């Protein structure tokens, strides 16, 4: 399988027009609300989603024009492997955010915790289900790490 | 933006050859180990990843041939909106799993918690960072829900 073709199922409407100033993740973006407009032909797929307080959005960093294998994350002084970061400049321009679902009006999802810019194409939505009972044993490396 | 083209960065090697019998999620698959072979040209992107105990894999359900907007999840008796499920038969055949990273040997990631089948194309890897301090306030709807 050499190439995979995907079609957006919807689009983000955000208070952020440009990548600069966007919260660095959805936790940081908790103060900001926005919407996801799901294209009408996919609306029936939203059934039952309102039962979830949080949802996962997989989206496309449509403003990314290049990718690097190592990047310098926000507030970091070292070059890190791109797969150990959330940089938009990755081999496939895929983004992932967990956002709070406020409500659904027809084909419009009202969300809180937005860290995407206006016009971001959305590729998939999944229910957020906590993976682990506690954070025990979770190690998040490079925050402490040295080069 | 009408069509988005992605290229696999690697491939899953799994004890599961066919979709039947695959654990329904990576928590269920905690007994099973496998590997992700990252293609050599992306190897430098793996730097620093070993500092993380858990990683997010975004992959492609390459055996999916059709999509539905409503599906009947495993052990459920109701049709649910596909975006409220993890069904592989979704508009874009994107899958998401959080797996435990055991170790990295060169371009091979050894993982635990595998719920993908042999040959699954991997599109992206992201570090897993717990989104919430506790699961307080998390609501997972359709498990209790009625149609």
**What does the alpha-carbon distance between residue A85 and residue B128 come to, in Å, rounded to a whole number?**
10
Check if A85 contacts B (Cβ < 8 Å). Answer: yes
Query: Is A44 in the B-facing interface, judged by CB distances under 8 Å?
Result: yes
Q: In this structure, is residue A136 part of a structural domain?
A: no
Element (H, E) at B94: strand B94-105
Per the CB < 8 A criterion, the answer to whether A93 and A60 are in contact is: yes
State whether residue A72 sits within 8 Å of chain B by CB. no
Structural domain count, chain A: 1
Residue B110 lies inside a defined structural domain of this protein: yes
Contacts of B60 in chain A (CB under 8 A): 1, 4
> Residue A14 falls within a domain, yes or no?
no
Q: What gap in Å lies between CA A74 and CA A70, rounded to an integer? A: 13
Is A61 a member of any domain? yes
The answer on pLDDT for A71 being more than 50 is yes
> Quick check: is A134 in a domain?
no
Which two three-digit tokens encode residue B5?
């083209």
Put simply, whether B133 touches A (Cβ < 8 Å) is yes
Chain-centre distance for alpha carbon A12: 11
Q: Per-residue pLDDT tens for B45-86? A: 999 999 999 999 999 999 999 999 999 987 788 899 999 999
Q: What's the domain range around A78? A: 21-129
Say how many Å lie between the first and final Cα of chain B, rounded. Answer: 35
Per the CB < 8 Å rule, is B84 touching A121? no
Q: Is residue A145 part of a domain?
A: no
Q: Given A1, A124, A139, which is nearest B94 (Cβ)?
A: A124
Sign of CA dihedral B113, A45, B68, B8: negative
| Mean pLDDT (chain A, rounded) | 88
CATH number at residue B108: 2.40.30.70
> Can you give the length of chain B in residues?
147
Residue in chain B lying closest to A50 (CA): B141
- φ/ψ region of B116 (left if φ > 0, alpha if ψ in -120 to 50, else beta) reads beta
Domain assignment of residue A15, yes or no: no
């Amino acid at each position: 399988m050499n190439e995979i073709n995907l079609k957006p199922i919807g689009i983000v409407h955000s208070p952020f027009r440009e990548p600069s100033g966007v919260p660095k993740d959805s936790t940081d973006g908790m103060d900001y609300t926005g919407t996801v407009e799901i294209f009408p032909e996919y609306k029936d797929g939203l059934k039952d989603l309102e039962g979830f307080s949080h949802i996962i959005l997989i989206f496309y960093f449509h403003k990314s024009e290049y990718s690097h294998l190592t990047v310098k994350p926000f507030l970091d002084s070292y070059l890190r492997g791109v797969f150990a970061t959330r940089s938009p400049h990755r081999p496939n321009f895929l983004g992932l955010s967990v956002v709070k679902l406020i409500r659904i009006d027809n084909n419009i999802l009202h969300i809180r915790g937005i860290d995407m810019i206006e016009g971001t194409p959305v590729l998939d939505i999944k229910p957020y289900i906590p993976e682990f009972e506690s954070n025990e044993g979770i190690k998040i490396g490079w925050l402490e790490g040295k080069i």
